[in-house]
Structure formats: C-alpha cells, structure tokens
Structure 1
Amino acid sequence: MDTQELGFCGPGLMGGPMIRHLLRAGHAVRVWNRTPEKAEALVPDGARVAATPRELALNADVVLLCVADAAAVEAVVFGANGLLDEHADQASRPRMRLIVDHSSIPPDVTRALAARAAALGVGWIDAPVSGGVGGAQAGTLAIMAGGVDAHVESVAPILAAYASRVTHMGAVGAGQTTKLCNQAIVTATVAAIAEAVSLARRSGIDAAKLPEALAGGWADSTLLRTFVPRMTQDGLDPIGALKTFQKDVDTVAAAAQQTGTPMPVSGTVQQLLRLGAAMGLAQADLSGFIDVLQTARSMPQ
C-alpha cells in the first residue's frame, strides 16, 4: 500500500485507535483535536500535532474526521481556522483535495456540507463506521461510504488500515443513510437485550449466563456477547455514552419523517433514550438501557 501524508481530526475513543493503525501502516499523520491532550497522546506513536484544522489542510491531500456531531463537523471544516475557512489567508491555498468524514451526522446535512466543499474544489466522502471501540482497536471496522466512485476507490487503501470492509453505497449521503439503518438495528437490539436481562433478573435466574445459554441460537450475536457482560458486571471501561445513541436515533426519526417511513420500534427506543436522559443517564455507558429499566423496577406498580 502506498503511504501518504494524512490529516486526522478527532482522536477520541474511536479516532485514537484508527490513527494508530494508520501510523503502523506507514502513513505520516498530523492530528488535531479540540482538547490538545488527546492529540498529544498520539505523539509517542509517531503522530504530529497540528495547532488548527487549517494546518492539516495545508499539509495533506486527504483529511479524515471523526467528531461528535454535525455542528462539530461544520465547525472543523468551515469555522475559524477550519479546513476550509473562507476567511483564512488565501495566499496559502489548502493542499487538501478530499475530506473523509467518519462522523455520524444526518444525510441531508452531509449533502449540504459536501456541496459547500465542492464549490471550493474539495471532494467529500461520508464514511461512517460500525464495530465500536473494539472494532477500531482490532482494525476490523465496517465502513459504509457515500461519494464519487473515483474518490472512494482512491481512499480504500487508506481505510484498509483499520477497516475489514468498505462498501460503496452510492452518492454523497448514502453512507450516512446506511449508518442510520445500522443504528436502528443496533439500538433496538441493545434495548431488547436490556429487557431480556431485566426479565432474567426478576425471574431469579443468572442473567450473566444468557450469552452462554443462547450461543448458536437465533438470539446469539456480537451485541448479545458484548452487552450482557456490560449490563451484569461493574468496573468495565466505557465504550461510548448513551447520548450518542440518542443523537443517532433522533436522526433516524428525522429521516423516517422525511421519507414517510413507519419505524415504530425505533420510535419506542427513542422515547426510552429520552427517559434515560431525563433520569441523568446521558453520560452513562451505551449499556445504560439496563439502568433505565432497573430504576423502573423500584417504581410503584
């Protein structure tokens, strides 16, 4: 694989491992993060720290993003000292010609941001990921991409550093729509697992044994094996915040409304997540569905 000089914005729980895989593959990577300490933590691995996103755009052909939400993507790209800051010194034109956005944001916002970038001569690939922190660490993420064929083909060797599969789903925005389909399935499944754990506990059986008991059956899944331990054990490192699920399911609901798609299961999950937020659980681990249900146990019948 040809090595390249890359920029990367957002070395968080997902982005940090992804950057380390890029470095191990031989790429030179400049890193920026709103919290500088998160970027500096990658210096021992070989990364260079940029003072601003603009610095990344000046020094790399391809810049990858993995940030929290649509507002963060817009700020990083078009804000002050952003990748495409329209008020920056135009004497220093960006070297960057392609943005790869691993963030999960609404498809219509993606298309609007991509159009703004295209007007400045920069291509856009929406490339949200699935596989969680474990997949990022193992380098086995699944990437669903939207964009021009040639653009997706050109970055596939780069993404192979941390993805076992890159599927081109169509034009810009198609990757984000596919991620919404993914999140509709994931959030509904995790909610169902929390209900099963709660039912097992209230029935007096050991809920921690559910993955063993259901192994090989239709209910067996990566999510079952991941989340039952997180719902039955204490002290495990978090793999994300429940507010991330809420953001994604709210986006699913908006897309369902725009397309006239009935999604009653996602609607119920959305209300469960809103209840969790009202209970102060927005920052809880992604397994926090069980905390909502456990609290309900103590409520009057």
Structure 2
Amino acid sequence: MTEPFELTERGAEGLGYLGLGLMGIPMARRLLQAGFTVSVWNRSTGKTAALAELGARPAASPSDVAATASIIFMCVTDAAAVEDVVFGPAGLANTPGTAKLVVDFSSIHPDATRAIATRLKGINGMGWIDAPVSGGTKGAEEGTLAVMAGGDAADIERVRPYVLAMARRLTHMGPTGAGQTTKLCNQVIAGCAMTVLAEATRLATNAGIDAGRLPEALAGGFADSIPLQLFVPRMVQGIHSPPLGHIATILKDLDTVVDVARKTSTAVPMTSLAAQLFRLAELARGADADALEIYKLSETKSR
C-alpha cells in the first residue's frame, strides 16, 4: 500500500475537490493535512473558508479547479448535481481534459455514471472513476472509509495514493459503473440494518430492558456488527447531530437498488420494504433528518 509521504518524493499531482458537504469537508481536509496542493469549490462559497485557512486554494468554478488540477475529486448529492458540475456553465467539460481524471465519490445510478463518463470523455478526453464510499462522516473524519471503484485499472493505481490519504481501503471492482453497483450492495445491507436495528431497539425499550446495553450484550455474537455498535446508542440517546447521513440520501440509494433490481430481474423484498419505511420517515421527520431517526417512526404515546 502506497503512503502519501512516499508520493511526494516523486512529485505529487495537483488535486481538486468539488462539493464540500458532510463528506467533502473532512475528506478535503485530510488531503491538505497530508501535504497535498488542493483547489476546492463548493456551490455555496462560505464552506471554502475553513479549508482555505489550511492552505486550500478556493476556486470560482469546477472549470477553474480543473484548470490547475490533474486529479479532481467530487462528492455531491445526486446525479443531477453531478451533471451540473460536469456539463453546466463553467463545468469540467469546459476545460481541456486530456490526461486528467475525475474521481466521483458521489452515489448515483450506475447507468448515469456510465453515460456521464462516456459523454465527458468524448467532449474533452477527461477520464472517469466512479468511487462511492462507505463509512459515513465518522469514517471521513478518521480516514477509515472504504472506497469501491469502477474504471480503468491503471487510472485506479494512479489515484490510489491520494485516495488512501482519505480512506483505509480502495478496491477496484471492475469497469465504469462497478463502483456504483458495489455501493448499492452496501446500501442494501446498511439500509436494511438501520430498519432492523430500529425494530430491535424499540422491542427492547417497550419490553422494559435497557436498550442501550444491547451492543454490550450482543458483542462477539452472531448479531454483533459495526452498525449495532454505532447505530443503537445513537438511537437510544437521540443523537442525531451531526447526522450520520440524511434520510433523503439513503432513500435515493435504496430507490436506485430497486430500479437496478428490476432491470436485472433480481428480487429485493427486504430492500423494497426498507425503502418504503424510509419514505415514511422522510414524510414524518423531513428529508434532511438523520437516517437513524427512522427509530422514531415506532414511537408510541405514553399510556
């Protein structure tokens, strides 16, 4: 595994980061702390200030980032946002892109990824890696993210040292779109786990036992998992700020799973149910609420 400090001996490439949300800020910060030169852009410019204090170069547009960076990282909300950043006014497509790479950490439909990558390559020659992540804001802060990537093998190796400044693991899963498909598999597990853990936690509470001790009681057994240890305490204690992820985000991904499942004749009954539960949670708690607020769906009034 190549470490960032080894790279500096060969001469690091100029980096860019587009999209400074819950994930983008801590990920870009880790690049800066590793000593890399990073240009940053965000639709709302206020979020660039803290990174500028760490040495980041605020840019006026995605095109401005691409003018100085040879590897451009991106993490935005959905496919429409990716399209706008790439093909909109002052987007990446407006800058010469030969020998440059986009590494998209966003979670979008595999079909959209392939279409965007093909179109951008045809316009300016810029390459594309779809590299969605797992690990949430905690993983972004601590550099423990798991990154699942789709694209050319040589391109993956070119960006690996930089990605590993932000993540613990980078796995090449196949051609363009394979990273997004792998993330959907991750979301099947994570999304269903949230709903099941909310159910178990509510059962414990309603039955009169201390639900907060479930992680301790089940540690090391077949029910133990990172979600159990992380999610249940937050549910029980009502810790939802900062959110681990928004309801709208997990719902978007689960809806994408259902669409890909339909196209591939794959039965996903558990995921379909989880999506409907999150849809109810979105109506009850709001799109920007923490996904773990799904636990509150089963609240009952005091008798």
Q: TM-score range by the shorter chain?
A: over 0.9
Matched ranges for 1:164-179 at <5 A = 164-179=168-183
CA contact (8 A) 1:146 1:170 kept: yes
Residues in 1 aligned to 2:196 and 2:234: alpha-carbon distance in whole angstroms: 14
Mind listing any 5+ residue stretches in structure 2 that lack a counterpart? Answer: 1-6
Equivalent residue for 1:138, pick from 114, 135, 142: 142
For residue 100 of structure 1, what is the aligned residue in structure 2? Answer: 103
C-alpha deviation, 1:239, in angstroms:
2.1
C-alpha deviation, 1:96, in angstroms:
6.6
For residue 233 of structure 2, what is the aligned residue in structure 1? Answer: 229
Equivalent residue for 1:240, pick from 231, 234, 245: 245
Equivalent residue for 1:126, pick from 127, 130, 133: 130
141 and 23 in structure 1: CA distance in 2 versus 1, 3 angstrom threshold:
same
Write out per-residue CA displacement over residues 46-101 of structure 1, whole angstroms, 9 at most, x where no aligned residue. Answer: 1110011110111111111001000000100110111113xxxxxx7357711100
Would you say 1:192 and 2:196 are equivalent positions? yes
C-alpha deviation, 1:241, in angstroms:
1.2
Matched ranges for 1:53-68 at <5 A = 53-68=62-77
C-alpha deviation, 1:282, in angstroms:
2.1
Matched ranges for 1:267-278 at <5 A = 267-278=272-283
Q: CA RMSD in A?
A: 1.6
For residue 264 of structure 1, what is the aligned residue in structure 2? Answer: 269
128 and 235 in structure 1: CA distance in 2 versus 1, 3 angstrom threshold:
closer
Equivalent residue for 1:112, pick from 108, 111, 115: 115
Residues in 2 aligned to 1:11 and 1:278: alpha-carbon distance in whole angstroms: 26
142 and 211 in structure 1: CA distance in 2 versus 1, 3 angstrom threshold:
same
CA contact (8 A) 2:97 2:126 kept: no
SS in 2 for 1:218: coil
Q: Percent identity?
A: 50
**Which one-letter code corresponds to 2:295 in the other structure?**
I
Equivalent residue for 1:150, pick from 149, 154, 169: 154
For residue 4 of structure 2, what is the aligned residue in structure 1? Answer: none
With the length of structure 2 as denominator, give the TM-score of the two structures: 0.93
Mind listing any 5+ residue stretches in structure 1 that lack a counterpart? Answer: 86-91
With the length of structure 1 as denominator, give the TM-score of the two structures: 0.93
C-alpha deviation, 1:140, in angstroms:
1.1
